[in-house]
Amino acid sequence: DLSKSVNVRDHIRVAWPLYDVAMWKKGSNFLRFPSKHFEDGQFPLKVLTPLWLPSSRKKYLCHSKTMVSLPNNGWIYMGSHNLSQSAWGRLVSNGAALQISSYELGVFIAQPKDEHHRLTLPFVPPSGQQRCKPWPSGELPWLPGLFCDRVFLTSTPDAEGHELLSRSLLPAHKWASSRGLHVAERPQPLGDCLASLPDSGLLV
C-alpha cells in the first residue's frame, strides 16, 4: 500500500541484512521480519537489497528507519516509523483515502538543487552507477523467528536440521578456527544443552 500511495511500486527497495551477517551483530533482535511472510513463498524478494554497514560500524546493526532518494540523494527521511501498514497507512475506499493507525515523528531533509552537500547515512547506500544490487541467490534475509527456531531446538534435529544449524554457525566456526579454538562440526541443539545444565548453571 505504501508503494501504491506514492506510485513507485517498481522502484522501492528495502535494504535488509543477510541472515549470516545479522546473527553476529548486536541489535539484530530489534529488526522484525515475521518468518511467515517469507516462508509462504509470497514475499516479493525483488524488493530486498543487501544492507551493508560502514567499515567503522563493526558490532551493531542500525535501528534507524531511513528513506533516501537514489541515485541523486535529493532528499532523506529519518524517523521512528516501521515499514508497516499501521505506520504508513493502507488504502481504503477503493484507493481514495489513506488510513493511518499510528502517528510517529520523523525528519525530512530536502537538498536544494543548486547545492551539493554529502549526506551521512548509517549504512552504505548504492552509488548512482551501482544501483541497488539484487538479493544474492540462495541467501536468507535476517529472520529473527527462524534464528530462534534454529537455536532453541527442543529435540535433536534430523540431518537437514543439523545442516541448517551448522550453516548458520559457519561464520563462528571460521572465526574460532582461525584462533585455534575447537568447534563441534555438528553443534548440539541449545534445547538439549539447557536440559543438561545443572540448576545453578548460567548460560550466557
Evaluate whether residue 66 is within a structural domain: yes
* Active-site annotation, residues: 63
**Least confident window among 22-26, 57-61, 71-75, 97-101:** 71-75
* Residue 2: other Cβ atoms inside 10 A: 18
Comparison of pLDDT for 79 and 74, the residue scoring more? 79
> 92 and 8 in one domain?
yes
Comparison of pLDDT for 18 and 43, the residue scoring more? 18
> 156 and 64 in one domain?
no
Domain boundary (56, 82, 110) is at 110
Q: How far apart are CA 75 and CA 64, in angstroms?
A: 16
Measure Cα distances from 195 to 65, 188, 192 in Å: 39, 12, 5
Evaluate whether residue 141 is within a structural domain: no
What's the pLDDT band for 197 if we cut at 50, 70, 90? Answer: very low
Q: Which domain holds residue 177?
A: 152-196
> 90 and 176 in one domain?
no
Q: What's the pLDDT tens digit per position in 43-78?
A: 777 788 888 777 777 777 777 788 877 665 577 888
> 174 and 77 in one domain?
no
Using the structure block, give the residue that is written with the C-alpha cell 529435540.
155
> 96 and 24 in one domain?
yes
User: Residue 50's pLDDT is what?
Assistant: 85
> 79 and 175 in one domain?
no
On the question of pLDDT at 182 being above 80, the answer is no
Using the structure block, give the residue that is written with the C-alpha cell 530536502.
110
The helix/strand/coil state of 9 is coil
Number of domains making up the chain? 2
User: Residue 108's pLDDT is what?
Assistant: 83
> 106 and 156 in one domain?
no
Among 29, 66, 8, 51, CA closest to 144 = 29
- 65 labeled binding residue: yes
Comparison of pLDDT for 3 and 190, the residue scoring more? 3
Percent of the chain with pLDDT over 70: 55
Domain boundary (59, 91, 110) is at 110
What is the per-residue burial (b if ≥16 Cβ within 10 Å, else e) of 17-45?
bbbebbbebeebeebebeeeebeeeeeee
